[in-house]
Structure 1
Amino acid sequence: MQVQKTTVESLFTHERRYVVPLFQRPYVWGREEQWEPLWDDICDIAERNFVAIKNENPDDVIHPHFMGAIVLQSRRVSGDHLPVLDVIDGQQRLTTLQLVLVVLRDLANAKGEAPTAKWATARTANGNALINTETEQYKVWPTQRDQAQFIEIYNAGSCAKLQAKFPAKIGRRKATRPLMVEAYLYFYQAMDEWLIEKGDAVLGCRALRLALQRHLEIVQIDLDETENPQEIFETLNARGVPLLASDLLRNFIFRRAKGASLPDALHKKYWARFEVPENPAQPEGLRFWEVEIRQGRLSRARLDLFVQHYLSMKLERDVRVGELFREYKTWIETRKPFSGVEEELQEFVRYADLFRALLRPDTNSPTDLFAARLHAIDVNSIYPLVIGLLGEPHLPSDERDGIFIDLESFLVRRLVCGRPTKNYTRLFLALLTDFRKGGVFKRAAFRNLLVAGKTESSDWPDDATFELSWNTVDAYKAIKPERVEMLLRAIEMKSRSSKSEPILLKGPLTIEHVMPQSWSAYWPLPAKTDGVDPLEAREEVIHDFGNLTLVTQGLNSTVSNGPAAQKLPELFKHSNLELNKYFVNRTTWTEKDIRDRGKALFELAKEIWPRP
């Protein structure tokens, strides 16, 4: 390893290429955290240069600004190809510096400062690209996902042309621009405003050129062929955006693929799916796997969340977030579970596709119905078990569907009965381990494991316990509304199933209290009987399942809080929902009616979520 201080001039003056390996993450630097501090550094130096040039005082001492480190490793090339250095770390810095130089080139051309434009052009383009001018002309060559936008920026030649290519709006809708384009536009505007402020564009361009040419220093670390770039990559990320576990994992996988001369093909065949945009109509929008979803109190990218579930499923134990990459690397290197990198990727993306389908249920299949209800129950610790069952080749689909019915029943009954969830991670991984060890891939075998739980943290409540809780729990308060909605949706589906095929109810539904929460104006209390306090009796049932229903759109407050004779017919107008046909021809609604309906709903719930 050789370590040296270098400058932008030294980095980019030679005919060579800095290539960002395709398996590294894309460009992620942003305005507040990276672009603005860099511009502040450049601006500070340029101000001093401007004064020195204007006053013809070349002896002014201008101290350099340190930009951080880059790690490079020379790659062997053949024939007349230009020398290539792989960027092991620091690609965000190098790419941003190239964008700044392209901005200076375009701005100098626009201001008529030809020497600066010529200098900047020579620091962004290789003039001696003899073999492949399409790629070798660029001194920095980004990772695959960013190459198209980088070429567009370089070839536009002016800010106006780039803005025309990437407009701020399409029609009336705000367009999403690629990050590199946003970076170019930010630095162009910043430099242009600074030049206008200085009042002398030619002198200002020269001051900016000198700032970049002489006064931005970088520590350059050159690795020799015997050194392990993976270890360097894992530990170096100074002044950058923190690496996700999936970033490290991707680098680890494709570093080994490089040894087999397969990285491009494997990336296209397997990893590219993780870089598909969430909305195909906005190719530069957020990628599906980059979207952050909540897990407990934290939000994490979907891909990192999947890595945790996948590794926990494979190792059959809980893997802490901070240990994901180390655990994965240890698993691969010590257990050697795959014959090669391609088999490793095949398995990884197979389970990733299963996990993605669980996050986006959109059919009436048993798995999708189960997945939709899992989302509402919001128990993330079950996903290693679920993807393990989905990926088990010896488990027939009908047996798996039966297991999902039992798991859903287990979760719902415990939810309604107020059972704790704190040991779910250990419980579900133990179920997976025991099921695999048993070697009998049948619903009955899995059901036996579920029934075996006897403690409060592991039992599967029986019908009597389930019924008691169902009829007494303040459902709307004790259970989150989105979970209550899921339970009522399931009952709605069950109510329809005898008349038609069950369907996955889509679209928004709203929970409605039949007897309103604000009942005092139009719902008088009955007379006291048998020593029962009528106020206490009402408060006991107001949030019960028997008093809750679904409507396709919320009732206005006047109707919602109005008298029974007005409200119940309004609910019947929502009779496209089977739940609300219960209110046909009703003009009164009492505490007894609530209890009776709760019992009727329980009979359906018991069928939906059975227990042996």
Structure 2
Amino acid sequence: MREFDQAEMVEMLDELIMNSSRRFLGKPTRFKLYPSHSDRGAFERVMTGGNPSDHRLDLAFRFFSVAARDWLSTGGESAQSASLDQRANALGATIQDRLSLVSIDLSGNDDAQLIFETLNDRGTPLLKADLVKNWVFREGAQLNADVDDWAVRLWDEFDQPWWREEVQQGRLMRSRIDIFLQYWLTMKSCAEVRSDDTFRAFVRQSKPFMADRDFATSYLESLRSDADIFRRFAELGSDTPEAPWVWFRPS
């Protein structure tokens, strides 16, 4: 918009995404929407005009930037006869009025997994680990725990491709992180945990440990340590002496 001298439209769009008050300068709260920790660096880079990378947010930004520039330049087949101001207003109205964000506040009796799975029925399936992560960090925030430290030190690894890659387990394809969580909960509870009950089982198992900030941190450190062991076993070469004894290795 700036390169097309659409100052009013630029100001309107900035108001949608930024808090302009001086008290927000240099703080994450200057953004009205802020992503999870693993995407924050790329998000801030995109939002502040930093050097691009191959992160998915950079790729998305470049795609929509090119599309918006093409629309403002030519309007495509549907709006070639429209003026620049008319095309800019149409683009601004689409962004302002036709994009929606939904905030859902859950009560203690609401089933978060059921709600998210229902809302996401036609989209990419949520991992059980995504629900676990949301619950863990919400509980941590209520304890005034250092959730930024949790994110960097204890959880970022789970958001990496190796953990989220789907591998074959019997007849099914499942992410490694969901497989690990199911096995970990089975070990902790000494009871069978069904794959579709992983999130609920995690909440039942973990709730007593999330009542205190220090206990919660130690509990997540234990989870992280066991996950590292799981990965070392999963990455054992088939020619190693230990490999035949690792019965849970997903291929």
What corresponds to 1:234 in structure 2?
113
Shift of 1:265: 2.6
What corresponds to 1:361 in structure 2?
236
What corresponds to 2:135 in structure 1?
252
Q: Measure, in 1, the Cα distance between the counterparts of 2:209 and 2:21.
A: 46
- Confirm or deny that 1:191 pairs with 2:68: yes
What corresponds to 2:44 in structure 1?
151
Q: Measure, in 1, the Cα distance between the counterparts of 2:12 and 2:100.
A: 18
> Match of 1:271, as an amino acid?
W
CA contact (8 A) 1:270 1:345 kept: yes
The range that moved more, 110-119 or 138-147, is 110-119
> Match of 1:254, as an amino acid?
F
Shift of 1:211: 2.5
Q: Secondary structure at the match of 1:350?
A: helix
User: Which of residues 16, 19, 44 is equivalent to 1:126?
Assistant: 19
What corresponds to 2:126 in structure 1?
243
Q: Measure, in 2, the Cα distance between the counterparts of 1:129 and 1:121.
A: 15
Q: Secondary structure at the match of 2:23?
A: coil
What corresponds to 2:225 in structure 1?
350
CA contact (8 A) 2:209 2:216 kept: no
Q: Measure, in 2, the Cα distance between the counterparts of 1:301 and 1:215.
A: 34
> Match of 1:194, as an amino acid?
W
Q: Secondary structure at the match of 2:222?
A: helix
Shift of 1:267: 2.8
Q: Sequence identity, in percent?
A: 23
Q: Measure, in 2, the Cα distance between the counterparts of 1:143 and 1:187.
A: 21
What corresponds to 1:203 in structure 2?
86
Shift of 1:358: 0.4
What corresponds to 1:574 in structure 2?
none
> Per the alignment, do residues 267 and 231 of structure 1 end up closer, same or farther by CA in structure 2, a change over 3 Å counting?
farther
- Confirm or deny that 1:293 pairs with 2:170: no
- Confirm or deny that 1:182 pairs with 2:31: no
Which structure: greater helix fraction?
Answer: 2
Shift of 1:314: 2.2
User: Which of residues 2, 21, 33 is equivalent to 1:140?
Assistant: 33
Shift of 1:117: 1.8
- 1:376-525 equivalences under 5 Å are 379-380=247-248
Q: Secondary structure at the match of 1:300?
A: strand
Q: Measure, in 1, the Cα distance between the counterparts of 2:3 and 2:87.
A: 13
What corresponds to 2:178 in structure 1?
304
How large is the RMSD of aligned CA atoms in angstroms? 3.2
> Match of 1:182, as an amino acid?
L
Q: Measure, in 1, the Cα distance between the counterparts of 2:136 and 2:70.
A: 45
> Match of 1:361, as an amino acid?
L
> Match of 2:241, as an amino acid?
L
Higher gyration radius (CA): 1
Q: Measure, in 2, the Cα distance between the counterparts of 1:360 and 1:295.
A: 15
CA contact (8 A) 2:24 2:30 kept: no
What corresponds to 1:546 in structure 2?
none
Shift of 1:323: 0.9
What corresponds to 2:242 in structure 1?
370
Q: CA offsets, 1:67-88, max 9 Å, x none?
A: xxxxxxxxxxxxxxxxxxxxxx
> Match of 2:218, as an amino acid?
E
Q: Measure, in 1, the Cα distance between the counterparts of 2:190 and 2:111.
A: 30
> Per the alignment, do residues 220 and 148 of structure 1 end up closer, same or farther by CA in structure 2, a change over 3 Å counting?
closer
User: Which of residues 102, 114, 125 is equivalent to 2:7?
Assistant: 114
- 1:31-70 equivalences under 5 Å are none
- Confirm or deny that 1:341 pairs with 2:224: no
Q: Secondary structure at the match of 1:236?
A: helix
Q: CA offsets, 1:297-353, max 9 Å, x none?
A: 2221111110111112223333211111112222334xx478721232122122111
Q: CA offsets, 1:395-449, max 9 Å, x none?
A: xxxxxxxxxxxxxxxxxxxxxxxxxxxxxxxxxxxxxxxxxxxxxxxxxxxxxxx
Q: TM-score, normalised by structure 2?
A: 0.79
Q: Secondary structure at the match of 2:242?
A: helix
> Per the alignment, do residues 347 and 220 of structure 1 end up closer, same or farther by CA in structure 2, a change over 3 Å counting?
closer
Q: Measure, in 2, the Cα distance between the counterparts of 1:329 and 1:179.
A: 31
Q: Measure, in 2, the Cα distance between the counterparts of 1:232 and 1:191.
A: 40
Q: Secondary structure at the match of 2:13?
A: helix
Q: CA offsets, 1:129-162, max 9 Å, x none?
A: 3155242322222221111111111122xxxx86
Q: Measure, in 1, the Cα distance between the counterparts of 2:101 and 2:165.
A: 33
> Per the alignment, do residues 232 and 152 of structure 1 end up closer, same or farther by CA in structure 2, a change over 3 Å counting?
farther
Q: TM-score, normalised by structure 1?
A: 0.35
Q: Measure, in 1, the Cα distance between the counterparts of 2:104 and 2:133.
A: 22
Q: Secondary structure at the match of 1:353?
A: helix
> Match of 1:253, as an amino acid?
V
Q: Measure, in 1, the Cα distance between the counterparts of 2:102 and 2:37.
A: 26
Q: Measure, in 1, the Cα distance between the counterparts of 2:202 and 2:184.
A: 10
Q: Measure, in 2, the Cα distance between the counterparts of 1:217 and 1:355.
A: 40
Q: Measure, in 2, the Cα distance between the counterparts of 1:128 and 1:181.
A: 27
> Per the alignment, do residues 139 and 310 of structure 1 end up closer, same or farther by CA in structure 2, a change over 3 Å counting?
same
What corresponds to 2:149 in structure 1?
265
Q: Secondary structure at the match of 1:293?
A: strand
Q: State the number of aligned residues.
A: 237
CA contact (8 A) 1:126 1:139 kept: yes
Q: Secondary structure at the match of 1:317?
A: coil
CA contact (8 A) 2:168 2:174 kept: yes
Q: Secondary structure at the match of 1:270?
A: helix
| Unmatched runs of 5 consecutive residues or more in structure 2 | none
> Per the alignment, do residues 114 and 179 of structure 1 end up closer, same or farther by CA in structure 2, a change over 3 Å counting?
same
